[in-house]
Amino acid sequence: MNAPKLRLANVSKAFAQKNGEQAIAVDDFSLDVAQGEFVVIVGPSGCGKTTVLNMLSGLVAPSSGTLLLDEHPITSPGAERGVMFQDYALFPWRSVWGNIEYGLVYGPAGRGMDRARAADWWLSRGA
């Protein structure tokens, strides 16, 4: 049997509160996702959906448990994963191409390309 593309094994996340207590956002959550499988996380507000996604993105570390992508631990953000935040995060006066190009202004211009070529490259990948 093949290893899952993505594995969350007994993942928990607690946040410290001002009163010294721990607020448990996610408790002992496990999930295996196969290559090509489509998964939706559904639940009421405050149940930990966003916390799970933030851990998968590498933006938040779990308090316990294991997060694996292709059998490698997820410990920080990576180019193989993307995050689309809930809040409005695009410039409405720019095209899709323009929004992608803008993001490249503040980082290396994708694989040695100039910004315009890098934006075209990302668009061709379905970004």
What is the per-residue pLDDT across 83-117, written as a single tens digit (0 to 9) for each? Answer: 776 666 777 888 887 777 776 765 554 445 577 77
How many CB atoms sit inside 10 A of residue 75's CB?
9
Q: State whether 97 and 66 are in the same domain.
A: no
Q: How far apart are CA 127 and CA 82, in angstroms?
A: 9
What is the span of the domain harbouring residue 20? Answer: 6-73
Q: State whether 66 and 95 are in the same domain.
A: no
Q: How would DSSP label each residue in 27-81?
A: EEEEEEE-TT--------TTSSHHHHHHHHHTSS--SEEEEEETTEE--S--TT-
Look at residue 43 and tell me whether its pLDDT is greater than 80: yes
Question: Is 81 among the domain residues?
Answer: no
Question: Is 110 among the domain residues?
Answer: yes
Q: State whether 22 and 66 are in the same domain.
A: yes
Q: Determine contact, residues 25/31, Cβ cutoff 8 Å.
A: no
Q: How many CA atoms lie within 13 A of 16 on its CB side?
A: 2
Looking at the DSSP bridge assignments, the partners of residue 33 are 6
Here the CATH number for the domain that contains residue 60 is 3.40.50.300
Q: What integer pLDDT is reported at residue 86 of this predicted model? A: 64
Question: Is 78 among the domain residues?
Answer: no
Q: What share of the chain in percent tops pLDDT 70?
A: 86
Question: Is 43 among the domain residues?
Answer: yes
Q: 84-114 burial by CB neighbour count: b if 16+ within 10 A, else e?
A: eeeeeeeeeeeeeeeebbeebeeeeebeeee
Q: What integer pLDDT is reported at residue 21 of this predicted model? A: 92
